């Protein structure tokens, strides 16, 4: 019977059963007694299964040449492992080498501790390491748990477009899809134009957020979310920004800011719990190797309420902290990560929800508060990272929305479809965006966001 390493190690097969395992060699060790121990992994779990290979095998001479990375198929009997680590191992009766590693001395993924910088330069080979394999499994668990969370609560998953003309954040961080000078297209010679260069003559960009589109579905299906790739032309080399990242955005009709703040907290606790249950092996590795608190802090955040604070009070806390920040603190600033991390790591020592930000630093669609100075916006800040979620109640009152557009110098016509949601059966509604890689960073403790997405896209990084 074919079987995966995870099934074997978790005891799905009984002692004495003959099984076949396919995978790659992690390590090989030979004893003087003419026995080799070959550890084989297949990515299904953190651990490798140990095959005990006797020199009586006809191709034992090949076994002695196995090196890290060789692909093999091992046949043998499941036996109880006498060693400390694992419950089971395989008493091999056959070892078939599927693929050799040519020149093992120069194999980049040799079994040793590599720096993350080195691994990043080998993005096509790095999933073979313990570290990046663990990241991939945790990332998968988190994504599946997110879908499960929303599905169990009756949310509809909506796919929003990647090519768009609308700039959700108004922050000018959009990558252009159209490259031609559209104003000066040849008048009567449109056929001569290569439309692959300019999206059929329509100025367009890669999306920075699916929110506006998600709103249209929330104002019809009540509870929706989108989860997909998002792009931002931020030419900054930080450890928390990518040019291409995944965002998960729920949008809820008849919900206010407090409702979605509670939703964010429930969702985060749900996925923390799922990952601890499903990926205990990988999380133990992160706790040992990357971030001591990786497991304990998730456990503690599941069991207690997230902190909540008004932006205005958060600024006061920063001012009173006696801390010298690189960027000065005053009411009205868009907090930088040092401020956010101080609040989460040192002041509240927990994820913290900051609410009611100054309207002047926030996007046009956020709902105005009665004080005339703030909007119903929130950020969720996580220790070690800072902002992982940004959200708001949306402005549902047409007159207020129009006045804000005008004030910001935005064009009513450009937003006519969005205004329609306010013209026909408008409802209060709210939502947020979770940066998926920031979540994976937080859970694993991996400090650079480029190491938690398979193929990072950052300035000058797009080869493979
Ligand atoms: P920041 O202040 O950190 O630049 P933002 O306020 O610009 O983030 P939002 O527009 O609120 O980001 O987007 C929602 C979420 O998407 C953020 O809370 C964050 O988790 C994530 N995010 C934003 N920009 C990036 C990026 N360049 N790479 C990865 N994740 C991002
Ligand atoms: Mg930003
Ligand atoms: Mg921000
Ligand atoms: Mg934000």
> What is the complex's ipTM, to 2 decimals?
0.99
Helix, strand, coil shares, percent, the chain, to 5: 35, 25, 40
Q: Where are the beta strands (DSSP E) in 315-385?
A: 352-358, 374-382
Ligand 2 centroid distance, CA of 271 (Å): 24
List phi, psi (to 5°) of 423. Answer: -90, -30
Query: 339 CB less than 6 Å from ligand 1?
Result: no
**What is the Cα 348 distance to its own chain's centre?**
24
Residue with tokens 């402005």: 395
Report the predicted TM-score, pTM, of the whole model to 2 decimal places: 0.95
Terminal Cα distance for the chain, rounded: 36
Q: What is the pLDDT of residues 268-320, one digit of tens each?
A: 999 999 999 999 999 999 999 999 999 999 999 999 899 999 999 999 999 99
Which of 233, 234, 249, 435 most suits a substitution to test ligand 1, by most atoms within 8 Å of the C-beta?
435
Probe target for ligand 1 pocket from 173, 336, 387, 461, with the most ligand atoms within 8 Å of CB: 387
Instruction: Find the DSSP H helices in 222-303.
Output: 257-278, 280-289, 294-303
d(CA 420, CA 402): 12
What is residue 191's predicted lDDT score, i.e. its pLDDT? 60
Comparing CA positions, the residue from 443, 435, 463 lying closest to residue 238 is 435
Q: 299-304: long-range contacts at Cβ-Cβ below 8 A with a sequence spacing of 24 or more?
A: 300/350, 301/268, 301/269, 301/272, 301/350, 301/351, 302/269, 302/272, 302/273, 302/276, 304/350
pLDDT given for residue 190 in this prediction: 57
For 332-372, how does the pLDDT look when each residue is reduced to its tens digit (9 = 90+)?
Answer: 999 999 999 999 999 999 999 999 999 999 999 999 999 99
Contacts of 84 (CB under 8 A, 6+ apart): none
Q: In angstroms, what is the span from residue 386 Cα to ligand 2's centroid? A: 12
- Label residue 1 by pLDDT band (50, 70, 90): confident
Cβ partners under 8 Å of residue 373, min gap 6? 358, 359
Whether the CB-CB separation of 162 and 156 falls below 8 Å is answered with no
Please tell me the distance from the alpha carbon of residue 78 to that of residue 50, in angstroms, as a whole number: 10
CA distance 378 to 306: 13
133-142, 201-210, 278-287: the lowest-pLDDT one: 201-210
Which numbered atom of ligand 1 lies nearest the CA of 388?
Answer: 20
């Amino acid at each position: 019977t074919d079987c995966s390493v995870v099934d074997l190690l978790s005891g799905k097969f009984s002692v004495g059963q003959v099984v076949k395992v396919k995978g790659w060699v992690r390590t090989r060790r030979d004893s003087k007694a003419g026995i080799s121990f070959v550890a084989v992994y297949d990515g299904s779990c953190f651990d490798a299964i140990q095959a005990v290979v006797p020199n009586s095998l006809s191709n034992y001479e090949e076994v002695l040449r196995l090196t890290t990375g060789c692909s093999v198929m091992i046949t043998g009997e499941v036996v109880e492992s006498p060693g400390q680590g694992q419950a089971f191992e395989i008493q091999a009766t056959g070892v078939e080498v599927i693929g050799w590693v040519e020149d093992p001395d120069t194999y980049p993924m040799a079994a040793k501790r590599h720096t993350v910088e080195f691994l990043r330069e080998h993005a096509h080979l790095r999933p073979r390491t313990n570290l990046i394999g663990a990241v991939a499994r945790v990332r998968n668990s988190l994504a599946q748990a997110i879908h499960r969370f929303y599905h169990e609560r009756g949310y509809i998953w909506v796919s929003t477009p990647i090519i768009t003309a609308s700039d959700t954040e108004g922050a000018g961080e959009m990558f252009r899809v159209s490259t031609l000078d559209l104003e000066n297209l040849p008048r009567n010679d449109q056929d001569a134009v290569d439309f692959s260069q300019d999206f059929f003559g329509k100025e367009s960009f890669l999306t920075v957020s699916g929110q506006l589109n998600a709103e249209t579905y929330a104002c019809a299906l009540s509870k929706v979310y989108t989860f997909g790739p998002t792009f931002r032309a931020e030419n900054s080399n930080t450890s928390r920004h990518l040019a291409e990242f995944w965002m998960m955005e729920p949008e809820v009709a008849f919900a206010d800011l407090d409702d979605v703040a509670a939703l964010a907290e429930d969702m985060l606790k749900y996925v923390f719990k799922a990952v601890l249950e499903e990926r205990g092996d990988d999380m133990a590795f992160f706790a040992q190797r990357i971030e001591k608190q990786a497991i304990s802090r998730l456990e503690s955040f599941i069991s207690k309420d997230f902190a909540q604070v008004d932006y205005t009070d958060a600024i006061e806390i920063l001012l009173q902290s006696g801390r010298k920040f690189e960027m000065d603190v005053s009411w009205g600033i868009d907090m930088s990560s040092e401020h956010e991390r101080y609040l989460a790591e040192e002041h509240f020592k927990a994820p913290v929800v900051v609410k009611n930000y100054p309207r002047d630093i926030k996007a046009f669609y956020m709902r105005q508060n009665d004080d005339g100075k703030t909007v119903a916006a929130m950020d969720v800040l996580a220790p070690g990272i800072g902002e992982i979620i940004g959200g708001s109640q949306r402005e549902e009152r047409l007159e207020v929305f129009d006045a804000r557009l005008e004030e910001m110098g935005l064009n009513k016509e450009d937003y006519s479809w969005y205004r329609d949601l306010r013209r026909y059966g408008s409802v209060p509604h709210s939502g947020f965006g979770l940066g998926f890689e920031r979540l994976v960073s937080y859970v694993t403790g991996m400090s650079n966001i480029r190491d938690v997405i398979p193929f990072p896209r950052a300035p000058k990084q797009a080869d493979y």
